[in-house]
Every structure is written in C-alpha cells, then in structure tokens.
Structure 1
C-alpha cells in the first residue's frame, strides 16, 4: 500500500516510461516535419476533443471499478483481523476453567491462526506459503500441510478438528461450539472472497479498447495543436499523455490488489498486527514489532 507521503516521482513515471518515450519520439517527428513545412499536418481540434471525452468517461469507469476491487480487498482483510481476534476471545471465554490442557490449546490455536494470515497473504501473492509460517506450527501439522494445495484452508480444517475435540470433551457446550464454528465459517468466507478477487480477471477486451483509444487520442493530438503551437505542442502532448497513461496504470494496479507490488493491500502488515494481538491475548511475553514501511509503501 502506498503511503501518504514520500512517493518518489521515479516510481510514478517508471510505470509509463516506455509509453512516454514512444509519444515523445512521435511528437518530435511531427514537430520537425511541420517546422520544415514538408507537409501540412494540421487537423481539426474536434477529432482529439471527441476522443478525449470518450476516453475520460472510460477511464473514470475503469478507475472506479478498480478502486472497488481494491477497497473490497481491504474490507475483507479487515474482517479477517476482527474474526481472528474473535476466535481467540471466544476460546478464552468459553474454556477458561478446564485444566492444564488449555494453555497449550490456546497457544496452538493462536499460532495456527497467525500462520493462517501469513499463509493466506503469501498464497494470494503466488509465493510459497510454508516458509511464511516459520515455527508457528509443529512438525506433525507441517507434514500434513505439505499434502494440501491450499494451505490456509488446511489450517482452518485443523482449527475445526480442535473445536470438535473441545465439544467431545464437553469443554464447550453445543451453543458455544456453534459460535466458534461460525467464526471459522466467516474466516473461510473471507478467504474465498480474496481468492475470487485474485482469480477474476478484468475483461481483457475492455483493457485493449481503452489502451487503443488512448493511443489514438495521443497520436491525433499533435496534429490538432501543431498549427497553433508549432514545436510548443511537444511538451503539451507529453504532459497530457502522461496524465492519461498514469490514470490507466493506476486503474490496473488498483484492480489487482494481490500482485506483490507496492500498491497491494498491505496483507503482511495486517498479518503482523494480528500476530501481535493474538500473542498478547494469550499472555505471551515476547511479541514481534510492527512491520515497518519499506520507504514509501507498506506490504
């Protein structure tokens, strides 16, 4: 996630450097041809005006749709934070008077839930999930997870096994077990929503149409300005092109919030917050520090 301050210009313009290079070469060629009166290149300003208006509407829709996907991802991860805390709070409240077995149970479930958050973030980014878990789960559970393609889902299944054991020992009653299971259901729903956002590709035909229209607009703009501005049209066209290309790139990054880029939903930072909270809830003395920002962004 990009932070409010300190975003370097080189990061912003690196995303569109090839497009700007192509546009710069084109407008310089048009300017030189017109300056030397080789050809009459002027066209009515109506043509780029109509194109620019149409593109503005398309980009507004595209940016809005991209932001909705990014914001939905952030809402889902907010729900994961809440449900992770709720799971441990329910476990502590429902089972606090049932003997020496409980501290180990609290630690196992809390660590497994922390592992779920780290593993889900890595899975959505297409990274290996098991290294992210570290020493949060024991050897037996780690061996079981290696047999699953979806590690976060397997971790929720292990949660379910522990809840079933609590009910069997009558350490929770059926009503409490239903509430605990409902918390697991919400966590599973959140995982599914993230996977839907990740796997639902924005229509490629729509992307191609927008990019094509932007290039048509940018390449027609010098012909409309060259008669009035001469070589002065070069910086004007470059600035206008940069604005359109930046908006289009921003929309692309917003619509894909799980791609291991600085514009991502900050899943690792959120998982670290959950890590800290759950360890403190079960009374662990040592907790990790909050994840620091990597310059101008937080992962």
Structure 2
C-alpha cells in the first residue's frame, strides 16, 4: 500500500509516459490529417459517448473500491479477533499449569494469519508460518489443501485440550469458539473476494469503450482546438485512462502489488500483540520503505 499522499514526480512520469506518448502521437496524426484532408465531426455524439464512458468507469471504480474496503474491514476484524483469542487464553487459563498451552495458542494464531496472507497472495508458506508451527503437527497441517483452515482447526483443538485439562469451563470454551467463528467468517469473506473476480461486463466493456473514446476523441476536438488538439486530447484521454487504472489497481486487494493491502504489516501487528500479551519478546513493527510503500 502506498502511504505517501502525493506520489513523487519520478513515479508519476513512470506511470504516464507510455500512454501519454501513444495518445499524443495519435492526436498529432489526426490533427495533421485534418489540415491536409479537412473533415467535420459532429460534437453531440462525442459528448454522449464521453458521458456513457464516464458512467461505466464510475460503476467499475466504485465496485473495485468496495472490494478493497471490504477486504480491509475483514482484516481489521481479524486483528481484533486475534487480540481477543490471545487475551481470553491469557486470562482464562491458570499459571503456571497452562502457560505452555497459552503460548501454543498464541503461536498457532500467528502462524494462521501469516498462512492466510500467503494463501491470499498466492505465495508459498514462508519462514514466519513454519517457525510458529509445532514440528509434531507441521506435516499433517501442511498437507491440508487449505493450510490456514487447518491451523484454525488445530487452534480449536488446543482450546478443547484446555477444557479437558480442566483449565477452561464450557462457558469459557464457548466464548473462545465464538471468536474462532468470527475468524473463520473473516477468512471466508477474504477468500470470496480473492476467488470471485468482477463480472466480465465490468472488466471488458469499460476497457473497450475507454480505448475507443481515446481513439475518437481528437476527431471531435480538432475542429475546435486546432493545433492545440494533441495537448487537450492527450490530457482528456489520460484522465479516462487514470480512472480505468484505479479500478485495475483496487479490484484485487490481495494482489501483492504496491496498491494492495499491507498484509505483512497487519500480520506483524498481530504477531507483536500476541507475543507481548504472553510476556514474550516481539519483533519491531513493519514501516513503509524509502518509497513510501507499506507491504
């Protein structure tokens, strides 16, 4: 996620120079053609066409942002639920008998959120996940198709183990299970967003119409702007392409790009909170890099 409110000039140039150059060259060709072979283009169809394209882009951008914000809300719920499960384990289980089991529950939750991060980003499990899984259970858990769900199942078994040991009563177990339900529901929502793309109409037609509009735009402006057509048409075309790019950037909040959610930073937040709640040493928070990007 880009944290800087205003991108650097270098970033802006790197993003826009290719489409701007293509648009400018095309607009110059149309302008020269107009003065060599004069033609007349009616204004009304282009106005209606531009309005229709703007509506398409508005619906698409709103839908993409709703997906991005829902994903962020679900991860906010995941952070809160992780804190709740750690606090319940710390407060409900006795010391020193349950100290080791409380630590295992915290480690299991840290491994779970990081496994979920890797699954959503379509990455192999990293050392953070493997470092918090007990070796005795690692092989059976990693064989699961959904490793994160396997870790969550294991967390439920740890809680049941505490009940059978007499460290939790059934009411306390039920309260912790409710938190696990919230975690599972949040995971399901994230997987739904990841596995369900925008409908094809939202993806294909806006791209088609925006490019058609950029191609036809200089024909509608050249009669009014004359030799200024390349400048005016290029700027107008870039505006439509920018809105189109915004939708592309937001539509997959787990794409592991500079525009997606900072899953690494949020998983680190959970890791710090759970370790410190157990009185253990925790790593430093993840901060934006020199380019202002938080991963």
**Superposition TM-score tier, normalisation by shorter sequence:** over 0.9
The equivalent of 1:129 in structure 2 is: 125
The equivalent of 2:59 in structure 1 is: 61
Determine if contact 2:253/2:261 at 8 Å carries over to the other structure: yes
The equivalent of 1:209 in structure 2 is: 205
1:188 CA displacement? 0.8
The equivalent of 1:32 in structure 2 is: 32
Determine if contact 2:121/2:255 at 8 Å carries over to the other structure: yes
SS in 1 for 2:254: coil
How do 1:86-125 and structure 2 match up within 5 A? 86-96=84-94, 99-125=95-121
How do 1:261-276 and structure 2 match up within 5 A? 261-276=257-272
Q: 1:9, 1:202 → 2: CA distance?
A: 32
The match for 2:185 among 185, 189, 198 is 189
How do 1:1-299 and structure 2 match up within 5 A? 1-12=1-12, 14-15=14-15, 18-35=18-35, 37=36, 39-96=37-94, 99-284=95-280, 286-294=281-289, 295-299=291-295
1:192 CA displacement? 0.6
Q: 2:23, 2:40 → 1: CA distance?
A: 18
1:171 CA displacement? 1.3
SS in 1 for 2:131: coil
Rate the CA distance shift 1:60–1:270 in 2: closer, same or farther, 3 A.
same
SS in 2 for 1:289: coil
SS in 1 for 2:205: helix
Rate the CA distance shift 1:170–1:74 in 2: closer, same or farther, 3 A.
same
TM-score with structure 1 setting the length: 0.93
- Return 113-122 or 223-232, whichever deviates more: 223-232
Determine if contact 1:47/1:220 at 8 Å carries over to the other structure: no
Q: 1:134, 1:291 → 2: CA distance?
A: 19
SS in 2 for 1:236: helix
> Number of residues paired by the alignment?
294
Q: 1:9, 1:210 → 2: CA distance?
A: 28
Determine if contact 1:167/1:173 at 8 Å carries over to the other structure: yes
5+ residue gaps in structure 2? none
The CA RMSD measured in Å over matched residues stands at: 1.7
TM-score with structure 2 setting the length: 0.94
